[in-house]
Amino acid sequence: MQHIINFLIKYRNLLLYLFLFTVGLVFTIQSHEYHRNSFIHSTGNVTGNILQVRNDVYSYFDLNRQNTYLSEENARLRMRLLAVGDTLLGDEATLMFSDGLPYKVMPARVVKNSYDKLDNFITLDIGSSENIQPDMGVITSNGIVGIVDVTSDEFSRVISVLNSEISLNAQIKNTATIGSLVWDGSDPYKMSLIDVPRLATVSKGDTIITGQQSTTFPPDIEIGVIEDAELIDNGSRYRIDVRLFNDMTDLGHVYVIKNRDTEALKVIDTLTNE
């Protein structure tokens, strides 16, 4: 208490000046409309700037939750875009594509991505605890990403399309022409469509999509565009350069696709091959 008294005594002149200055300022503002409006405008700007800074800080620390929400919302929208059904994302959510096969879409985030090796892999922050299983397809809004290879409780490893060991069923849009989509390890922005017969109609600028025969990916997902084509094997078939719509060097949020009829289709394929 004595320290407070000593402080007041020591700075009494300054404190008195500040008190009288404040009283005078208040009377000036109250008695003159111009000064009052100027004061309100100035304090409004200061308050607005403070609120803006506060909102920016809150928004920064809320980015993770917002990203999760947006990923889930995008998954729901993807269901609506790709399907004819009206569904919500959930444990029992399904969607029916035009071929009648039920799918489920689950959002995930890429935590590791390689693209400069011959055989590349991707790690997702979602695993078997979320019912992720091997052989599920992975896509983005721009195209295909890869196929789930191995899972743990919390993470999944995906075989990237930029992997020399992977071969995907694909076709030229608006045609019945199909081929195998492969990667030669040279350019992360391009893949090759091979085993396309010579009689097929192939034009630069045509779009390559996932094929009807795939049990991993829904049909008609756009993959890329034909950049070049050449006849090989004495002109018996084409090798087509496909520029990917997906930027495989810059992956953030992806969607894991579950085909609930995969096992049943595999059984049918086994029976027909016996």
pTM: 0.65
Residues 6+ apart with CB under 8 A from 234: none
Q: Please report the pLDDT score of residue 22 as a whole number.
A: 77
Q: Please report the pLDDT score of residue 180 as a whole number.
A: 94
Q: Please report the pLDDT score of residue 14 as a whole number.
A: 75
State how far the Cα of 189 lies from the Cα of 227, in Å rounded to an integer: 11
Q: What tokens appear for 1 in the block?
A: 């208490």
Hey, where are the domains in the chain? 2-60, 95-274
59-96: pLDDT as tens digits: 455 556 556 656 655 665 555 555 543 333 344 344 44
Note down pLDDT in tens along the chain; length 274 residues: 666 777 667 777 777 777 777 776 666 656 655 545 554 445 444 444 554 555 455 445 555 655 665 665 566 555 555 554 333 334 434 444 444 546 788 888 899 999 999 999 999 999 999 889 999 999 988 899 999 999 999 999 999 999 999 999 999 999 999 999 999 999 999 999 999 999 999 999 999 999 887 778 888 899 999 999 999 888 889 999 999 999 999 998 899 998 766 555 555 444 444 4
Do residues 74 and 107 make contact, with C-beta atoms less than 8 angstroms apart? Answer: yes
CATH superfamily of 95-274: Rod shape-determining protein MreC, domain 1 (2.40.10.340)
Q: Please report the pLDDT score of residue 36 as a whole number.
A: 52
State how far the Cα of 44 lies from the Cα of 158, in Å rounded to an integer: 53
Q: What tokens appear for 2 in the block?
A: 């004595």
DSSP calls for 122-170: EEES--GGGT--TT-EEEETTEEEEEEEEE-SS-EEEEEEEETT--EEE
Residues 6+ apart with CB under 8 A from 128: 151, 152, 153, 156
Residues 6+ apart with CB under 8 A from 208: 170, 171, 172, 173, 181, 193, 222, 223, 224, 225, 226, 240, 242
Q: What tokens appear for 161 in the block?
A: 């399309």
Amino acid at residue number 235: G
Do residues 261 and 102 make contact, with C-beta atoms less than 8 angstroms apart? Answer: yes
Do residues 171 and 202 make contact, with C-beta atoms less than 8 angstroms apart? Answer: no
The CA angle 142-146-152, to the nearest 5 degrees, is 125
Q: What tokens appear for 125 in the block?
A: 């922050």
Residue 172 phi, psi dihedral angles, 5° rounding:
-80, 130
Q: Please report the pLDDT score of residue 86 as a whole number.
A: 36
Amino acid at residue number 96: M
